[in-house]
């Protein structure tokens, strides 16, 4: 075993750790030295989004001590950044240990003299974002690992605008966290009087804000009995989704009972992720039985939503995040115009790997569409910069996250479920299904089709392998992909875009990010982006062609799917 690992293990065996932790370390020593090495080979990184990792003992695991040290570092920076009383809100999801970690964080903050608003029980992540601004807090924390498997937990830090940390605060907090050399530097207790329990009163304020997002309540009134099936996939959505649908006026909502109880073991799924067909399978069965109009599923902390609808043949299919975004953005833009709500300064925002079709129809409707780096903190950052000069309408990303209005500064599946159901009701009032509405958009603006591949590289060598892959693409970018010339190269790490025909280089006015995009002569786009929270690299594929009529949809789908598969094969990604 490497010396640095042995040293860290010794520190945990001889330091001020509880008896259960020491016993667990000794057990790993005796029974599983490989897992012991993985648990101690590094410190669990406090990245720009916070912590995320497997739960267990060790410096590379989510546990009381790694959470406490991260919180002490965050507290130290908050006290540097703000004068006077400092307030912070904390929420948590349904994962195992989420409540415990939330209480650990609350106790550490309180011991540092910070006033803590701790939710009485599990709540959605977007409500935490809302609460920060609603209660005038300087920051917030939510304990969640989003849609990761049950072994994981996480810790996301927020700033006073209700958004996750952006420069300079992200790097500054990381520096303060890294300064905490050991558990002896953490103030673990002594400020319990600074902790205030919150709950229903904040729920009410949040629900009222979401209710105001409705564009066409008259449509809901006419279609109130539309059959809706909803699954919270054992997460926090059960606390507020049924209630917001009720307040919007929907009267025929069916919750998937098998997945309605919050449970960190996620007993009915492998991954509690609405992007996965397996996680939505029980809901799909119920939707078929009821002949519902739509199925919706939210992840454990309710910031992502997946939907299923019937296709032209009456078969149930899951829409991907780009398709849902296209439908939702289009509904909001056109609905606001129809209702006389549109303004000259309206704008929408999406990430650079989300469907370019949104740029196309936004421009056609005289609405600015801004592109930012992956992560809703960048959408929130843009909102902050444009506050008072332009009006934010909605934002989104391909990974099933959407944000409507600017009262919540993170992706919000509670609001999204409500607006998606309103959108479905509007389609029904027009004698159309959501799937037909999507094809109508393709006919009007062009058929854009996207796909995604995630390549996971686990263990100590995984990060190095991913880094080497990106170095290779930078050093030797492909001249052609699938027989089509690479005409433009976007390098968000170097903050420059290169026209490969002319050699002209222009700056990209966005923060640095380890993302590459290849744009081909035939209009295809391939993006490569290592994950910031998981040991994986993601490849995004976007292809497009005109669609003359709905009758040509199936043939166009086949052609575009084939083009994506040929690109994947040519890049040797499978």
Complete DSSP assignment for 142-168: EE--TTS-TTEEEEEEEETTSSB--TT
SS3 92: strand
pLDDT (0 to 100) of residue 459: 67
User: What is the Cβ-side half-sphere exposure of residue 473, based on CA atoms within 13 angstroms?
Assistant: 26
Among candidates 162, 272, 217, which has minimal Cα distance to 421? 217
pLDDT (0 to 100) of residue 453: 94
Which DSSP state fits 187? -
How far apart are alpha carbons 95 and 265 in whole angstroms?
A: 7
What integer best gives the mean pLDDT of the chain?
96
pLDDT (0 to 100) of residue 227: 98
The ranges assigned to domains in the chain are 42-198, 206-445, 447-570
Residue 460 has phi, psi (to 5 degrees) of: -65, -30
pLDDT (0 to 100) of residue 533: 60
How far apart are alpha carbons 155 and 125 in whole angstroms?
A: 11
As assigned by CATH, the class of the 42-198 domain is alpha beta
Query: Cβ(361)–Cβ(516) under 8 Å?
Result: no
Strand boundaries in 284-344, DSSP class E: 294-298, 305-310, 316-318
Is the per-residue pLDDT at 574 higher than 90?
no
Give the sign of the dihedral formed by CA 542, CA 544, CA 550, CA 551.
Answer: negative
Q: Which residues are catalytic?
A: 146
Q: pLDDT for 346-364, tens place per residue?
A: 999 999 999 999 999 999 9
pLDDT (0 to 100) of residue 40: 95
- Tally of CB atoms within 10 A around 519: 22
- Tally of CB atoms within 10 A around 363: 12
Is the per-residue pLDDT at 2 higher than 90?
no
Q: Would the CATH topology of 206-445 be identical to that of 447-570?
A: no
Out of 3.30.310, 3.40.50, 1.10.287, 1.10.1760, select the CATH number for domain 447-570: 3.30.310
Task: Calculate the alpha carbon distances from 281 to 158, 247, 316 in Å.
Answer: 34, 27, 11
CATH numeric code, 206-445: 3.40.120.10
Q: pLDDT for 481-540, tens place per residue?
A: 999 999 999 999 999 999 999 999 999 999 999 999 999 999 999 999 998 666 789 999
Which DSSP state fits 236? G
20 contact partners, CB below 8 Å, separation of at least 6: none
User: What is the Cβ-side half-sphere exposure of residue 130, based on CA atoms within 13 angstroms?
Assistant: 28
pLDDT (0 to 100) of residue 48: 83
Q: pLDDT for 127-147, tens place per residue?
A: 999 999 999 999 999 999 998
How far apart are alpha carbons 69 and 76 in whole angstroms?
A: 11
The encoded tokens of residue 116 equal 């803590």
Give the strand pairing for 305-310 and 316-318. Answer: antiparallel
How far apart are alpha carbons 397 and 418 in whole angstroms?
A: 18
């Amino acid at each position: 075993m490497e010396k640095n690992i042995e040293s860290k293990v010794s520190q945990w065996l001889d330091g001020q750790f509880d008896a259960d932790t020491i016993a667990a370390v000794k057990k790993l020593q005796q029974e599983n030295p490989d897992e012991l090495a993985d648990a101690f080979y590094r410190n669990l990184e406090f990245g720009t989004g916070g912590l995320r990792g497997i739960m267990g003992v060790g410096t590379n695991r989510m546990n009381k001590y790694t959470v406490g040290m991260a919180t002490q570092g965050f507290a130290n920076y908050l006290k540097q950044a703000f004068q006077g009383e400092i307030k912070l809100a904390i929420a948590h999801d349904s994962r195992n240990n989420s409540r415990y970690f939330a209480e650990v964080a609350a106790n550490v903050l309180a011991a540092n003299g910070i006033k803590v608003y701790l939710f009485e029980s599990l709540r959605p992540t977007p409500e935490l974002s809302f609460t920060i601004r609603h209660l005038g807090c300087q920051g917030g924390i939510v304990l969640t690992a989003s849609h990761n498997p049950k072994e994981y937990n996480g810790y996301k830090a927020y700033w006073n605008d209700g958004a996750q940390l952006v420069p300079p605060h992200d790097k500054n907090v990381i520096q303060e966290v890294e300064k905490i050399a050991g558990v002896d530097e953490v103030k673990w207790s002594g400020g319990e009087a600074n902790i205030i329990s919150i709950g229903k009163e904040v729920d009410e304020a949040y629900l009222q804000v979401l209710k105001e997002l409705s564009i066409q309540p008259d449509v809901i009134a006419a279609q109130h009995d539309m059959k809706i099936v909803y699954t919270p996939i054992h997460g926090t959505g059960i606390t507020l989704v049924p209630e917001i649908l009720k307040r919007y006026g929907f009267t025929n909502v069916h919750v998937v009972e098998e997945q309605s109880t919050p449970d960190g073991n996620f007993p009915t799924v492998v991954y509690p992720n609405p992007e996965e067909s397996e996680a939505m399978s029980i809901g799909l069965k119920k939707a078929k039985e009821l002949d519902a109009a739509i199925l919706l599923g939210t992840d454990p902390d309710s910031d992502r939503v997946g939907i299923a609808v019937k296709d032209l043949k009456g078969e149930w299919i899951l829409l991907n995040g780009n398709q849902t975004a296209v439908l939702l953005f289009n509904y909001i833009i056109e609905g606001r115009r129809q209702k006389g709500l549109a303004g000259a300064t309206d704008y929408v925002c999406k990430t650079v790997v989300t469907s370019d079709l949104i740029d196309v129809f936004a421009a056609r409707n005289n609405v600015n569409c801004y592109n930012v780096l992956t992560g809703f903190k960048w959408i929130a950052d843009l909102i902050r910069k444009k506050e008072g000069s332009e009006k934010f309408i909605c934002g989104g990303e391909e990974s099933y996250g959407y944000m409507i209005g600017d009262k919540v500064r993170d992706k919000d599946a509670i609001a999204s479920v409500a607006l998606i159901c309103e959108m479905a009701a509007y389609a029904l009032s027009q004698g159309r299904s959501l799937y037909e509405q999507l094809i109508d958009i393709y006919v009007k603006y062009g058929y854009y089709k996207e796909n995604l591949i995630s390549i996971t590289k686990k263990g100590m060598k995984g990060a190095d392998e991913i880094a080497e892959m990106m170095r290779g693409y930078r050093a030797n970018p492909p001249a052609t992909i699938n027989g089509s010339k690479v005409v433009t190269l976007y390098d968000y790490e170097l903050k420059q875009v290169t026209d490969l025909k002319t050699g002209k280089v222009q700056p990209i006015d966005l923060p640095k990010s380890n993302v590459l995009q290849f744009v081909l002569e035939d209009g295809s786009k391939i993006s490569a982006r290592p994950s910031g929270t998981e040991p994986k690299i993601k490849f995004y594929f976007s292809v497009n062609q005109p669609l003359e009529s709905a009758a040509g949809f199936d043939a166009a789908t086949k052609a575009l799917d084939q083009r994506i598969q040929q690109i994947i094969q040519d890049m040797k990604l499978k």
